[in-house]
Structures are given as structure tokens and as C-alpha cells.
Amino acid sequence: MRERTSRRLVKRVASIGAGLLASALLAACGNSGGGVPTINLYGSASDAGFDQILGPCNAAAKGRYKIVGNLIPSDADSQREQFVRRLAARDSGMDVLGMDVTWTAEFAEAGWLRELTGEKKQQATAGVLQPPIDTATWKNKLYAIPRSTNVQLLWYRKSLVPQAPKTWDDVLAVSKKLKSEGKPYIIGITAAQYEGYVVGFNTILSSLGGTVVNKDSTKVTVDAKTVRALSILKNLATSGLASKSLSNSQEPEVFAQMQNGEAAITMNWPYVLSAMRAANKKVAADLGVTRIPEFAPGVPARATLGGLNYAISKYSKHPDLAFEAAMCLRNPANQLKGALSPAGNVPTLKSVYDQPEFVKAYPMKDDILAEMKTAVPRPVTPLYQNISTIVSTTLSPPSAINPDATAQELKDKIQQAIDGKGILP
């Protein structure tokens, strides 16, 4: 969630056209001829501070290969579109694939990824937290190296909200009070028509004990809990407590709402603290953070799991070198660098959480680890993109949700997708 989907405020991101052009040029010349092999990386190369990771890894290669980072679109949906087109064409210019955690089943089922077995599997999973390993696994086979993980947290301005909200009702009550006092009061969430909206909806629904499909994604499970989750979104959108740009809010917009003094409370990823320290030290010093609030009082919330994994393309001409490169890019030292940079990439390696620098930079590390223990994935299925598209379009804009009718529409459309019927929105 990937969450990493749209950090335009903390990434150097080129336009889609420029990214595609750069990709084509690099792929065309990268592995041709008899010189030093080029290992083309797609995904994560635009992370703030990535040059501090790439440089040492190329130095460590000692001339045996050169890793080249390629720019791709900034949002997960557009990234996936580019990956699918090129992998379906068996593009050998793609070596290391920085994949959103929701793509594993689809890409593995399509035969685009190299399974990691034996020593490679052992290296890829040694010392890694179990939830990230699960995101890199499909049908009990490992297809990727867990690079970073993610769970959303509740961020608030301590000068406005002295006590951390415990429940969603607390969040609403605090916001209403602040609004009545003429103070910043906005509740920020991602509700634009994209993957980040699906993350937020999945968190609310999972926290209520609901799901949209069964465990093996063969049957839709929309029910009264779905109606309740939709009611929460509808009520927020029409309460006057959300941003007027709610239906266009992605992660950067929610970040900006906190940075510019508009929002008092937001749901966003852990990168907020490192990014805010780089963007506005005064606001960063005023940030409070806690776990996602309870949406059913007395029932702990369950955050949606995000992150990014490094997979090796089935069509790479240098798969062994690509694996070596990927392992360097996500080694403990580089995971720490990624966490400390404005990109705020949450580590997958247990050992990094005990590093003094990490402990200092992530005072909320215990909240992250606690949420990860109960975090839920989005539906694990090769059909995930279909389901995600249906959810984000059917629920957009949030102000137009009719809880009962929208739940029924979700039920019908998702089941049609599972059955291979219907047309995607």
C-alpha cells in the first residue's frame, strides 16, 4: 500500500511520459554488447535518498555489473500498468522489479517472476518479519525479497489534540470540538479513486471484522459489516469534518493538510515523521502518533499491510546478478538508510528495529510492530487488481455512498469478477 504509492512530496518523480522514455532508452542499451552487465531496477529508484543506497551497491559489485534505477509513474495503479505491459511482452530489459505487495499473486500466476528456492530463499527470508514474507509468497512458494513493509498510523497535532484518540468516535468528537472553537480540525484520509482509498476502506472493514472475499478469494463476503464500514466513510464525507478535497486526496495531499495547518488528525503511513522533519520542523515537533483507532469500541483496529518487494523478472538475462543486486539494495545498512531518509521506508529486517539510530528516528516503532502483528493483507489473489478497481470506483466519491445500495453493488460486481463475468469500471 503499497502506501508507497504516491509520495510526490518526498520523491523525485518524473512524469509518466518521461519515465517511459527513460525506461525504453535504458532497456534498449542496458544489457546489449559485451561490456559490464546492466541490472535494470524498476520501482523504488525515485525514493528520496536512493542514491545513497545505489552508489554503495554499485561499488560493492566491483565492476561485475551496474545497477541502474529507472523512473516509473508515481502511483501504484500506473506502475502496475507499465509492469504488466512490459512483462507480458517478455521484456528482457527488466531485471529487478520493485513490486507493490498486492501484485505477487497476479505476477507469479502469470509466470513473470522467478521463484526463489534453496539458498536464495534462505537468504531472502533470513531475519525478516513474517508478515512481509507472507506478502512475497504465493501458493507456498517465495517469489520476492521483502524490501520494506508498512502499516498506517494515526497522526495528530499535539497542540490541538492533547490526548491521543482511542476510538473513531473520539476522532470525530475532537474534530467537532476544534471546529466549534475555530481551530484547525480536518480529519485527513486518502479517499481519491485509487489504491490508497482501498487501503483505508480495507482497514475500516477489517477492524469491524469484515472482509470483501473469503480466504481463497473464490466467494464474495460483503455483509452487514461492509454496510457499517461504508456508513463510516459516508458520514465522514458529509460531516463537514473532512477536507473539501477529500475525493481527490492521496497520501501527499493528506500529508500537506497536516503540514499546512489544515488538518488536526490524519491516517497515513510512518513516513510522515521523517518527511515532516525534512519539510517543516515546527510541525514535526508538534506531531503525535498512535495506533489506528478502534472503529468498533473495545475491538482493536486491524491495519492494512503495505510495502514493497524486490522480485526477479523471469525474462532477465542476468537473474543471479539481479538477485545479488536486490539483496544489496535491501541489506541491513540500506534498510536503515531508507528508514532514516525522507522516504521513511519501514524495514522488514528485525535487527534494524534495534539499531539506536532507528529507535531515535522512530519513537513509534512499538506501535508499528504491534500493528504488524494483527495487520491484514488486501485480498490475496491474481484477481486483486480487478477487485481493487471495483472497490475504488464503486466507493467514489465517498459523499455519494449509499451504504446498503453500495454494499449490494460491491457484492454483485466482485462476484462477477470472481466468476469471470462483467466488465471492469
pTM > 0.75: yes or no: yes
Q: What is the pLDDT along the chain (425 residues), one digit of tens a residue?
A: 444 444 444 443 333 333 433 444 444 344 545 689 999 999 999 998 999 999 999 999 999 999 999 999 888 888 999 999 999 999 999 999 999 999 999 999 999 999 999 999 999 999 999 999 999 999 999 999 999 999 999 999 999 999 999 999 999 999 999 999 999 999 999 999 999 999 999 999 999 999 999 988 999 999 999 999 999 999 999 999 999 999 999 999 999 999 999 999 999 999 999 999 999 999 999 999 999 999 998 999 999 999 999 999 999 999 999 999 999 999 999 999 999 999 999 999 999 999 999 999 999 999 999 999 999 999 999 999 999 999 999 999 999 999 999 999 999 999 999 998 866 66
Tell me the C-alpha distance between 161 and 264, whole Å.
7
- Tell whether 424 is covered by a domain: no
Q: Which of 362, 389, 406 is the last residue of a domain?
A: 362
Q: Three-state SS across 129-159?
A: CHHHHHHCEECCEECCEEEEEECCEEEEECC
Phi, psi of 7 (to 5 degrees): -80, 65
Same domain, 240 and 258: yes
**Number of domains forming the structure of the chain:** 2
Strands 66-70 and 96-100: unpaired
Q: Which of 337, 362, 387 is the last residue of a domain?
A: 362
Same domain, 404 and 324: no
Same domain, 145 and 158: no
- The CATH number given to whatever domain includes residue 89 is 3.40.190.10
Same domain, 298 and 167: yes
Neighbouring C-alpha atoms within 13 Å toward the C-beta of 154: 25
- Specify the DSSP element, H or E, that contains 313: none
Domain residues for 179? 153-304+379-418
Phi, psi of 385 (to 5 degrees): -60, -35
Same domain, 292 and 311: no
Same domain, 166 and 237: yes
Q: What's the grid cell of residue 50?
A: 536512493
Tell me the C-alpha distance between 391 and 413, whole Å.
9
Phi, psi of 296 (to 5 degrees): -120, 110
Same domain, 328 and 217: no
Cβ–Cβ under 8 Å, residues 335 and 349: yes
